[in-house]
Amino acid sequence: MPPRPKVGQIVRLLSLHYPAASCSLVFRNAYELLIATILSAQCTDRRVNQITPEFFARYPDPYAVSAAAVDDIKEKIRTAGFFNHKARHIHACCRQLVVLHHGEVPADMEQLLALPGVGRKTANVIRGVWFHFPCVVVDTHVTRIARRLGLTLASSATQIEQDLMQLLPQASWISFAHQVIQHGRTVCLARKPRCENCPLRKWCDFYRKQK
């Protein structure tokens, strides 16, 4: 368990350096956030934001998606990567929203996880960003950076989520993920982290071991 002052300093420095960090997907409601998050797997948010305006114009709600042919959905999301897979998930997910939830995106974790194509990360994005429940989103950036900083030794996203929830003040759960994701995109890169430019290096286990 890392010492509390270290955790406090990391939270403080992230807030200082990334005060405006937020979800970079563009959405207007829970349905749009859900579809954008499913599309964002193995795809940049920028690319998703290029795809979704036309997608939502054609399919403004789960009813429109569930009435569509999967092949038509594929055409609309072709540039998102893994589009065959994602189109099938989006179609099945929207059908389930229509059949079980009157076309609404549920806030309940179990109901979210029961939707095709929705894993824990996507469920936490919906619950945290749209419904404002306290939760920690664990994506590839959060996994990498939490481990480098020494905030967790775990490799499974579920355990990392649990570790971070134990360590971090609840008020920072949502912002922590947004800030770490921004840090991962700009400084703590996967292959070549820019440690010399990193405001967190004093508190980073990875940096200390490199020296």
3-state SS assignment for residue 26 = coil
Nearer to ligand SF4, 56 or 206 (CB): 206
What's the 3-state SS for 84-120? HHHHHHHHHHHHHHHHHHCCCCCCCHHHHHCCCCCCH
Task: For residue 38, give Cα distances in angstroms to 32, 34, 47, 86.
Answer: 10, 6, 13, 7
Residue 193 engages ligand SF4 in binding (rule: CB under 6 A): yes
Tell me how far, at minimum, the Cβ of 53 lies from ligand SF4, in Å: 34
Using CB under 6 A, pick the residue from 65, 149, 151, 157 that binds ligand SF4. 149
Stretch that binds ligand SF4, among 1-9, 17-25, 123-131, 188-196 (CB under 6 A): 188-196
Residue 188 engages ligand SF4 in binding (rule: CB under 6 A): yes
**Residues noted as catalytic:** 121, 139
Residue with tokens 């569930």, as numbered in its chain? 66
Residue 195 engages ligand SF4 in binding (rule: CB under 6 A): yes
- 173-186 and 140-149 are packed helices; what angle lies between their axes, rounded to 10 degrees? 90
Per-position x/- string for 107-146, each x denoting binding to ligand SF4 as judged by CB under 6 A, each - no binding = --------------------------------------x-
Which of the 8 DSSP states describes residue 163?
A: H
Nearer to ligand SF4, 62 or 193 (CB): 193
Amino acid at residue number 40: S
Residue 207 engages ligand SF4 in binding (rule: CB under 6 A): yes
Total of residues contacting ligand SF4 (CB under 6 A): 14
Amino acid at residue number 188: C
Tell me how far, at minimum, the Cβ of 179 lies from ligand SF4, in Å: 12
Residue 12: its H or E element: helix 4-17
Question: Could you say which residues in the range 7-66 bind ligand SF4, by CB under 6 A?
Answer: none
SS3 content of the chain, % helix, strand, coil (to 5): 65, 0, 35
Rounded Cα–Cα distance for residues 162 and 152 (Å)? 9
Using CB under 6 A, pick the residue from 14, 38, 137, 200 that binds ligand SF4. 200
Q: Which residues bind ligand SF4 (CB under 6 A)?
A: 145, 148-149, 187-188, 193-195, 198, 200-201, 204, 206-207
